[in-house]
Amino acid sequence: MKSPFMPFGLIIIIIKLHFWGLDPVHETKGMIEVYSACFSRRGIRCLRPAALSVFSLLILVLLFPGEAAAKKTLLALTVWNEENYQTRGLLLMADRVSALTGGEVELRVEYGGTLGYKGAEILGAVESGQLDIAEMVASNVAGDAPVLALRTLPMMLDDWDDVALFDSLARPYYEKVCEERGQKVLVVSPWPFGGLWANKEVKDVADMKGLKLRSYDRNGALFAQAVGAKGLNVPYAEAYTGLATGLIDSVITSSISVREGKFYEVCKYHMPIAFASASSITTINRAAWDSLTEPQREALAAASAEAEAFLRDEVKKVVAENDQFCYANGVTLVPVSEAFHAELVKAGEKVAAEWLRDNKSAKDAIELYEKFMAEKKARAKQ
């Protein structure tokens, strides 16, 4: 005699199989035979208690697959070393999402170039699903989306308040670009401002004339030209030797890079001109995001918000710490006057105007630039 619950159970499993994308007729042929044998009186008598327990567990898995699902592990990448604050932000996100989901979602964080991906490749690696999550410098992956590089225009941002304002306006544009590339933005985080480090005091634009200034991109070269300096494209790895031999006599970078590259040994003056501040974005592959349950997505969003708050606070601490290290090792701080800053802003505006002309087809970048400048001017009047 068959159990009266057998047809009901089979109906539920057939419905489940349909939603899993399987052929219910094909997949349930064997199940019917198993049900027939096991739910007969003889079958139940023949099943040992242990076997019956295993069979019951199998039925529960079939009926309630979400309850028995294995934990989700996502591969997350940053190219920086373990001590870098961006890496520590990603590790914080991993710790928090694990805690908030009770271990259901884990991030396997790889850092320091262990997977071999380079800057420009990372956005595509997330898009293709080779990486689930990655932190990347936005301007490095801009490609055919100039809006991701807009923030690096020289002298556009004055301080951390400008950084926060720009990022709040830019995020929807970043999200649109990433959505078109099959991913979702989790974090937008700032990098330090670049300062001017030179082998002499620089107190105005006149002092910059004739400087042999290391520039690493077109904007830097145009800025050098605008202030009467000579922009030289010298790789970071060769900058120390260039400074020591006189090939170059100045660089625009942050105190983090000055400390790591030991430039403080050969470059003795720091003018904190707030040249530019790049941003990083941390994204997740859209399919990986969609594979999470709603509570898991909420937990990852919360963990990402905590990581972003940490990064925005930590970058200021890291800059202050590295500035003081450089000053303690022979570098002299030269304050930037309002008049000098105004001269630098004018030079930066020339570079911005050329950049906007070169990217006139990038309507989103132009729109974001105009929005930011309008908001900045309105705030200055308050």
Considering the segment(s) 195-276+319-381 as one domain, its CATH architecture is 3-Layer(aba) Sandwich (3.40)
Signed CA dihedral, 96, 101, 102, 104: sign only: negative
* Backbone phi, psi, residue 194, to 5°: -85, 135
Tokens coding 263: 């430039």
Strand partners, 333: 270
Residues of the chain with CATH 3.40.190.170: 72-191+278-317, 195-276+319-381
Yes or no: domain 72-191+278-317 corresponds to CATH 3.40.190.170: yes
Q: Which residues make beta-bridge pairs with 277?
A: 193
Instruction: Pull the structure tokens for residue 70.
Output: 């294995």
pLDDT tens track, the chain, 382 positions = 444 444 444 444 444 434 344 444 444 444 444 344 444 444 444 444 444 444 444 444 444 444 445 699 999 999 999 999 999 999 999 999 999 999 999 999 999 988 999 888 999 999 999 999 999 999 999 998 999 999 999 999 999 999 999 999 999 999 999 999 999 999 999 999 999 999 999 999 999 999 999 988 889 999 999 999 999 999 999 999 999 999 999 999 999 999 999 999 999 999 999 999 999 999 999 999 999 999 999 999 999 999 999 999 999 999 999 999 999 999 999 999 999 999 999 999 999 999 999 999 999 999 999 999 999 999 988 8
Burial label, 56 (beta-carbon count in 10 A; 0-12, 13-18, 19+): exposed
Residue in this structure with the two tokens 């720091």, named with its chain if needed:
270
**Chain centre distance of CA 306:** 14
261 phi/psi in degrees, rounded to 5: -90, 0
Listed residue (60, 70, 134) closest to 103, CA to CA: 70
- The pTM of the full predicted model, rounded to 2 decimals, is 0.81
